[in-house]
Chain A
Amino acid sequence: MSPLTLFHLAALLLLALGLMGIVTRRSLVGMLISVELMLNGAGLALVASARLTPAVDELGQLGALLVMGLAAAEATLVLAIILVVARRLGSSETARVSELKG
């Protein structure tokens, strides 16, 4: 297998792990962790594509950097949301967050 495929498969592995995690996890923090896994996969795929194909190298790296920035922003926001949820409902488990349920 060529290096590009190998790196892409690794990225896919991250995506799959993240998806699995998001479905199986029951707490918001666990889901956040899974999302981070997926974002990492995205970054890895971007960089691999940029480094090993005729595409512009810098763009891939910039893309990965922006993904990291977004991940940081997202983590901040999710942290705040988790705090609010935990404070209001006394738990950060998704099953208990059911205020809108009829």
Chain B
Amino acid sequence: MDFLAYPAYGLYLLLILGGGLGAILSQSLVRALMGLILTLFGVAGMYLLMAAPFLAFMQILIYVGAVSVLIFFAIMLTRSSDGGEAGREGSRGLGRMLLGLIAGLTPLAILAWVVVHKAPTELPLKPEASLASLGQYLTGPYALAFELISVALLAAMAGAVLLGFERRRAR
């Protein structure tokens, strides 16, 4: 990383942290969504920092442009009471938060120890992988994975449509 990369990393980390905290803590679900989007931008920035601009743009295109819009739709269609969750009631809410902290921090601590102490051999940043070679991998040795993803997407779409229809019949 050159001299500009560390401040950039810090900025993106801040985006991720701030957005993530917003995403899991804010009462209003739409605000949580905005937090998620901030995080997504942070991650996209990190991709850019790793000289993987294709992934960064795909991240924005798919996550920000499609997935978060879907989530917005979910919030709107379920009329989640002004987009907020019912107030976390007193002690139970506190207990929840505690559990959440444990659930989050335990793996974080363990994995962080692993990451810091068992770091694999590291290379300086490789030159940017060309789009063509990505495509060759995708259509060559990993065509099956590619096809499986499309099958998964198709199945998800069909499933979603089916569920939607079922809902209509149930009415």
Contact with B along A44-86 (1 / 0, CB 8 A): 1001110111100111011011101111111111111111101
A87 to B59, CA, bound (A): 31
> Is A70 touching B152 in the complex (CB atoms < 8 A)?
yes
Quick check: is A100 within 8 A (CB to CB) of the other chain?
no
B interface, by DSSP: helix, strand, loop or mixed?
A: helix
Contact between A79 and B70, CB atoms less than 8 A apart: yes
Residues of B within 8 Å of A, CB-based: how many? Answer: 90
Q: Roughly how many angstroms separate A7 CA and B121 CA in the complex, as a whole number?
A: 15
Q: Closest CB-CB distance, A97 to chain B, in whole Å? A: 12
Contact between chains at A30 and B163 (CB < 8 Å):
no
Given contacts A78-B74, A84-B167, A92-B78, contact A14 B39 (CB under 8 A): yes
Among B108, B133, B145, which residue has its beta carbon within 8 angstroms of that of A13? B108
**Known: A20-B104, A29-B78, A79-B74. Contact between A51 and B24, CB under 8 A?**
no
B23 x A15 contact (CB < 8 A): no
Q: Which parts of B123-160 form the interface with A (CB within 8 Å)?
A: 123-126, 129, 133-134, 137-138, 142, 145-146, 149, 152-153, 155-157, 159-160
Query: How far is A82 from B67 in the complex, measured between Cα atoms in Å?
Result: 15
Q: Report yes or no: A71 in contact with B23, Cβ–Cβ below 8 A.
A: no
Residue interface mask A10-49, B partner, CB < 8 A = 1? 1011111111111111111110111011001001100111
A16 touches B107 (CB 8 A): yes
Q: CB-CB < 8 A to B1: which residues of A?
A: 3
Q: Inside 8 A of B74's CB, which chain A residues have their CB? A: 28-29, 32, 78-79, 82-83, 92
Query: A: which residues have CB within 8 A of B?
Result: 1-10, 12-30, 32-34, 36-37, 40, 43-44, 47-49, 51-54, 57-59, 61-62, 64-66, 68-84, 86-88, 91-93
27 example contacts (A-B, Cβ-Cβ < 8 A) are as follows: A12-B115, A14-B39, A18-B20, A18-B24, A19-B107, A20-B100, A21-B100, A24-B25, A25-B24, A25-B85, A26-B86, A27-B80, A30-B29, A43-B55, A51-B50, A51-B52, A62-B142, A72-B153, A72-B156, A73-B156, A75-B71, A77-B159, A82-B77, A84-B167, A86-B78, A87-B170, A92-B78
